[in-house]
Structure 1
């Protein structure tokens, strides 16, 4: 049932573009594993071996710390509608913050979304495709608006204060490199 590739085919790129959610997993050599669901319009394929995704302000920032210490990343897409399919992307990633040259260039690929925090770029080393027959069928009703509404309400100064307080240190006590001031 499973298949492995070393690049993103056009049909895989189309499949990923159709999905409303993806999951990002990271881990350092020691400590906790982080697995985060991501949605909204925050994923882009750059070419057949490279992707990026826009990270929004949230309650934690484990992914940034993990990438700074051990740059491996796994991204998972699964079909909740249509034909069953699971696609996993394995690779190494970099994190870019506002002010980094790469951030500015990559940010133009996305719509302006309040709460934008970082962009992660991943070099895809392995693509694994599996059946997904155990994944439930679920209907998409829409994106939640609470995160964007919250970010708008915070304004840039409020978001910076929140990030400094809640996003600057990982669960394992390590820096996320986001703190300012």
Structure 2
């Protein structure tokens, strides 16, 4: 049986810092539930009850869209090496876009990798650990550079066009904050 906490403890923070990957789960009121793997050094603990991650441009933008309808989200970290453990953070999330008032305050916490598109911030209301006994052991070989190289090769102008085409609306037709910003630029 797992153990619940009201906030992150120092040992939870140490565990999170040692992981090379985490997962984000979100859902709107209707439609698909989304689970996204995240790599690279993009996760930050801002306080025992506040976390954020730098979200990089990808083929979809489901988490961002879901947060427009319902702010529920879950983060999951799991030990793929060493002592088994699964750690989940349950909280409320929101999107911070580049150029917004809060962006400069948050962006200083991150290495702004090529292709960054937004920061997802969460207020954490519950932390839960479980055994992780069935999670297999894997060896970390390094980060994949495919996404970084893709973003560099695209360049800023083509990334904006890509986000407009691929990141403005979710697979269930929900407008994302990026889509909303594009519509505001067009006066819609």
Normalising by structure 1, we get a TM-score of: 0.98
Counterparts in 2 of 1:76-155, with a 5 A limit? 76-155=76-155
1:22 maps to 2:35: no
Q: How many residues align?
A: 181
Which residue of structure 1 aligns with residue 165 of structure 2?
Answer: 165
Give the CA deviation at 1:112. Answer: 2.3
Root-mean-square deviation over aligned CA pairs? 0.8
Following the alignment from structure 1 to structure 2, what is the Cα–Cα distance between the partners of residues 134 and 104? Answer: 41
Q: Which runs of 4+ in 1 moved over 2 A?
A: none
Following the alignment from structure 2 to structure 1, what is the Cα–Cα distance between the partners of residues 85 and 159? Answer: 37
Describe the SS at the equivalent of 2:178. coil
Describe the SS at the equivalent of 2:117. strand
Give the CA deviation at 1:2. Answer: 1.1
Which residue of structure 2 aligns with residue 74 of structure 1?
Answer: 74
Which residue of structure 1 aligns with residue 54 of structure 2?
Answer: 54
Describe the SS at the equivalent of 1:111. coil
Describe the SS at the equivalent of 1:7. coil
Give the CA deviation at 1:123. Answer: 0.5
Following the alignment from structure 2 to structure 1, what is the Cα–Cα distance between the partners of residues 132 and 159? Answer: 38
Give the CA deviation at 1:101. Answer: 1.3
The superposition leaves residues 2-47 of structure 1 with CA deviations (integer Å, 9 ceiling, x where unpaired) of: 1000100011001001100000000011111010000101000001
Give the CA deviation at 1:82. Answer: 0.6
Describe the SS at the equivalent of 1:12. helix
Unaligned regions of 5+ residues in structure 2, if any? Answer: none
Following the alignment from structure 1 to structure 2, what is the Cα–Cα distance between the partners of residues 90 and 174? Answer: 22
The superposition leaves residues 53-110 of structure 1 with CA deviations (integer Å, 9 ceiling, x where unpaired) of: 0100000001111001100000000000010000000010111111111122111111
Which residue of structure 1 aligns with residue 175 of structure 2?
Answer: 175
Following the alignment from structure 2 to structure 1, what is the Cα–Cα distance between the partners of residues 117 and 161? Answer: 13
Preserved CA contact (<8 Å) 2:115 2:152: yes
Describe the SS at the equivalent of 1:101. coil
Which residue of structure 1 aligns with residue 44 of structure 2?
Answer: 44
Give the CA deviation at 1:177. Answer: 2.1
Unaligned regions of 5+ residues in structure 1, if any? Answer: none
Describe the SS at the equivalent of 1:81. coil
